[in-house]
Amino acid sequence: MQSRRIFIGKVASGLAGAIAAPNVLAASDRIRLGIVGAGDRGTQIMREALACPNTEFAGVADIYTKRLEDARAIAPDAKTYLDYRHLLDDKSIDAVLIATPQHLHCEHFVAALDAGKHVYQEKTMAFSVEHARHMRAAFERAGRRTVQIGHQGCSSGQVRDAVNFLKTGNVGKITAIHAHMYRNTPHGKPQWARPVFPDMTPENIVWKAFLGEAPARDFDANRYINWRFFWDYSGGNVYENMCHQLAFWYKVMGLKIPAAANMTGGVYLWKDGRQVPDTMNVTLEHSEEILFSWDSGFGNNQLGTTEDVLGTDGTISKSQQIRYLPQKVNRPDGAEMLGSTRTAPNAHMQNFLDAIRSGQEPNCPFELGFRVSMACRMAVESYRQQRPVRWDAAKEEIV
């Protein structure tokens, strides 16, 4: 592992040099992977990738020295880097997983594609409209490189079940989708809160690299480890969980970026310095004449995580299972149907690797990630500006 002193002393060599062509892989070829961001989520997807046949990790990049040490327990032979650009310089690496804080997604995504890598980008894909545009330009430059966005539900067997329910015509005219996402934690244990450890110091964390384009601040270990609390780096639970619920139905139903969005709520429970709300309600108006509503909170888990697609002739109800329920007023003889398609635990990662080998589109392609990102950004802008916002499709702007 490179020491922080060596890292600081090196002269930056640019974003991985000249644009390289992606490696062509046969179905049986071993895929060499790198990862940027080896925190909790990063190490989880490392394990998912290694559970897939014919994979290995050649490089791990993170700005916190302890995370590089921890990653070695998962991939002992991988090289480790404090500067992700050195990882991208390794031409033997075929694909890069990116699991960094949301405000850094654009930087790492663009650099990885420009270095000739296939990319698995954790959600939410883009932090802002401007970032989404830059990422799209990089994706278009990249030609045939595979990009998978980390909305795992898009590789769930429930996608096939939902599509099959809709194909029957037994749902009727859909006018609304109502979604919940509720959690609870014991008293004194705030949702998302992570402890600040003694080794989280400027000597062990490359603070400037963490800040990226965010406003300059003196080193703050709490901001580093609890970045989800702060608007500079996070879109809150909209970017953490609403995005997944949106992505599933955007994929199944092909919904466009919302025409309008409104979000209300606040920090009603956890008064621990967080800026993002712990209780919230979002409404998204779609040009398809469908209203997507989502409410979420961190103080009660009774409602859990569910989505109900409401049609004149039936309901598709999704939680741990997915089922069709007839509306007896219009389908008096209709029968309930239960989804049955199974999903492997690492299905989304396997789909990414399969898409690299086959050249086929992955289950959550760039364009789907773009639409979901813009819907999420609209919600956050509405909350922060305390007013409804609209999407100008011609200018691709939130107004």
Beta-ladder partners of 186: none
Q: Tell me: the pLDDT tens digits for 3-43?
A: 443 333 332 333 333 344 445 566 668 999 999 999 999 99
Residues 281, 263: Cα–Cα separation, whole Å: 6
Average pLDDT, the chain: 94
Percent residues over pLDDT 90 in the chain: 92
| DSSP classification of residue 327 | -
Name 235's Cβ contacts closer than 8 Å, sequence gap at least 6.
102, 124, 127, 276, 376, 377, 380
Residue 244 belongs to a domain: yes
- Residue 263 structural domain: 158-343
- Asked if 97 contacts 35 with a C-beta cutoff of 8 angstroms, the reply is yes
**Residue 220: per-residue pLDDT:** 98
* CA atoms in the 13 A half-sphere facing the CB of 364: 34
Residue 18 belongs to a domain: no
Q: Tell me: the pLDDT tens digits for 234-289?
A: 999 999 999 999 999 999 999 999 999 999 999 999 999 999 999 999 999 999 99
Q: Which residue has the higher pLDDT, 67 or 23?
A: 67
Residues 326, 311: Cα–Cα separation, whole Å: 9
**Residue 29: per-residue pLDDT:** 86
Residues 135, 109: Cα–Cα separation, whole Å: 7
**Residue 15: per-residue pLDDT:** 35
Lowest mean pLDDT among 25-34, 91-100, 288-297: 25-34
Q: Tell me: the pLDDT tens digits for 116-139?
A: 999 999 999 999 999 999 999 999
**Residue 27: per-residue pLDDT:** 62
Residue 325 belongs to a domain: yes
Confidence category of residue 298, pLDDT binned at 50, 70, 90: very high
| DSSP classification of residue 227 | G
Residue 361 belongs to a domain: no
**Residue 24: per-residue pLDDT:** 57
Q: Is residue 97 predicted with pLDDT exceeding 70? A: yes
Q: Is residue 340 predicted with pLDDT exceeding 90? A: yes
**Residue 2: per-residue pLDDT:** 45
Residue 269 belongs to a domain: yes
Over residues 333-344, the mean pLDDT reads 95
Q: In sequence order, what E strands does the chain have?
A: 31-36, 55-61, 79-81, 95-98, 118-121, 147-149, 174-182, 260-266, 279-286, 290-297, 305-311, 314-318, 322-326, 337-338, 389-392, 397-398
Q: CATH code at 266? A: 3.30.360.10
Q: How many domains does the chain have?
A: 1
Residues 111, 134: Cα–Cα separation, whole Å: 11
**Residue 28: per-residue pLDDT:** 64
